[in-house]
Structure 1
């Protein structure tokens, strides 16, 4: 719903952190020729052996390309996997299980491969990019309070992308959990990676059902919040339409501010306040009760809705 800014230097640093561990397990699997999983032995096929042999050849940068693959290249790569490497993405096929052993079981889930707390904190994103409804603050390494990391292309079907930097999305538990993103395949659902989103891909608006009885304390939904613009798959997978309809009370408060000429009066008051100087965006933030710049949407829940409806009402 809101974009994450691409940082290629973080991706390169991530590659350097995971490279040796991945190579170790690729070599282990190639040397042994098989892996054990749930008391069964799965043989490395000739096709997968060729693929893994190419990956461990660092001179051709195949492994670096896999781990640092850009968000747009991930789209093309997944399309290629679906077209030409169906055994790699078949969760019941030995190729998929061998890849899962390397990149997930001994890779992503190995604490030596990725420090999830550090990974999330570096991205410096304060709300869930899928919904912009929940904070995803990190606290400290020793505490359990941290956001989820979602594999945008799910690790069960695409284990080969289990450690690819731009496939790892910080998110809130409701969006990553049961009944939402979970194991839904973006290739099938037509989802867009947050790194590829634009600020105008989603737009929220409001409809007044009964202007005569709007009361912010009534608990009655006299105002409807709806999506004027969206990527349909996201509304379905993340239940955004239904969830944002529940936030009508925020829209009502913004309408009342508009009706009371709150914006103009408060702006004049803040501008004349002695000892303090506010920029235009800071004045807009005080009036909205939320961040007013697109680039700051990630800093507070519902900021996207506040900005869109605030503009619709002429508050900012």
Structure 2
């Protein structure tokens, strides 16, 4: 895995929070107003109190549908409050839900909504632990705790949180004008999947037409952590293979696995290969075995990541790259490079870079198979006297 450099995302993180904070604030405030109306602190005419966005009636209905017993098509806002047509889970715990929402609007709280949108990955899990510890009284209709460790039960509170941190509308660019999944991916410019460093993930928009972009992996799956559904550090631009085919909806614990915004593969781990016959050493066939050389070191997070994303299995299919390097070494051995260096008055180190054209360290993240290519270059470089 390749770590996403901070220079690529620091400004984007701030932009993401700035763009999303108003719609998230207003959704929290809407549900808080609902609680206050039920408790008698507000009347229904004040449903939009402290809400900056001018909510349309259909928006209010879609919010209310998450906590009401009425179907969306049959929902009448005044009647819902007059007859208390709310799901039992919401009615039973609305005072605790009110406390939860109030905390989300408190800048001093651990679960302040702007913190949730921008907290780093290692901090997000503490947010969930805080919810589990401090809101253990919240139960679903099946009497299961809402914030169970690593899984959130899909009751009224789940849907309420899901609609506050609304990934579906963010993804489609409907949560706020001018900021959605395509905008985020355009700003980040992550052109190769950071998980596998193989598949290109360009964002392409032509004449306002959205053509392609990376998938956004939820490191903490939104099916289990809906509160992190649009958190910046929980949206990892990635390829379809890594996101949809390999990782899927699995929760990878942050203290056991690498995370692209905070970790890279152990610096002691490198791609390496073994030639399985003499012809392969000369680049005359692809009979090589590609593997991760750990150089005698053990890094548990790196090992878990490699196993989870099947890196060695997948990369062994790229053995066609090894003969390209081997042929160059066969045709340009150390003695030939020495002569060229004297003839052209160019340092041998520079000639090696011209011959093997490895990506620079900082360019690996934007180069398909960049780490493999650079590691192979370093291996073949060791065969020369430089």
Pairwise same-fold verdict (TM > 0.5): yes
On the 8 A contact 1:206/1:225 being kept in 2, the answer is: yes
SS at match of 1:129: coil
Change (3 A) 1:83 1:313: farther
Q: 1:72 aligns with which of 122, 126, 150?
A: 122
| Aligned residue number for residue 287 of structure 1 | 355
Number of residue-to-residue matches in the alignment: 309
| Aligned residue number for residue 213 of structure 2 | 146
Q: 2:200 aligns with which of 112, 128, 135?
A: 135
Question: Which digits, 9 at most, give the CA deviation of each residue in 1:22-68, with x for residues without a partner?
Answer: 01111222233585359596544344432221112357682221111
Shift of the alpha carbon at 1:260?
Answer: 2.9
Cα distance in structure 2, aligned partners of 1:263 and 1:173 = 42
Cα distance in structure 1, aligned partners of 2:284 and 2:204 = 34
Change (3 A) 1:236 1:77: farther
Tell me whether 1:255 sits opposite 2:354 in the alignment: no
SS at match of 2:246: coil
Of structures 1 and 2, the one with the larger relative CO (CA 8 A, separation 6+) is 1
- Report matched runs for 1:1-316 at 5 Å: 1-6=1-6, 7-33=9-35, 35-37=64-66, 42=87, 43-44=89-90, 45=93, 46-58=95-107, 62-78=112-128, 80=130, 87-88=146-147, 89-104=151-166, 108-109=170-171, 111=173, 112-113=175-176, 114-140=179-205, 141-177=208-244, 179-187=245-253, 190-198=256-264, 200-201=266-267, 202-213=269-280, 216=283, 218=285, 221-229=286-294, 231-261=302-332, 286-291=354-359, 293-314=360-381
Change (3 A) 1:259 1:108: same
On the 8 A contact 2:228/2:234 being kept in 1, the answer is: yes
Cα distance in structure 2, aligned partners of 1:216 and 1:156 = 48
Shift of the alpha carbon at 1:181?
Answer: 1.6
Cα distance in structure 2, aligned partners of 1:152 and 1:203 = 25
Larger C-alpha radius of gyration, 1 or 2?
A: 2
On the 8 A contact 1:127/1:137 being kept in 2, the answer is: yes
Shift of the alpha carbon at 1:8?
Answer: 3.4
Change (3 A) 1:160 1:216: same
Q: What is the TM-score when the length of structure 1 is the normalising length? A: 0.82
Change (3 A) 1:47 1:70: same
Shift of the alpha carbon at 1:146?
Answer: 1.6
CA RMSD after TM alignment: 3.5
Cα distance in structure 1, aligned partners of 2:357 and 2:107 = 51
Question: What 5-or-longer segments of structure 2 have no aligned partner?
Answer: 36-62, 73-85, 136-144
Question: Which digits, 9 at most, give the CA deviation of each residue in 1:46-97, with x for residues without a partner?
Answer: 4443222111235768222111112332354455556666623424343323
Shift of the alpha carbon at 1:314?
Answer: 1.8
Q: What is the TM-score when the length of structure 2 is the normalising length? A: 0.68
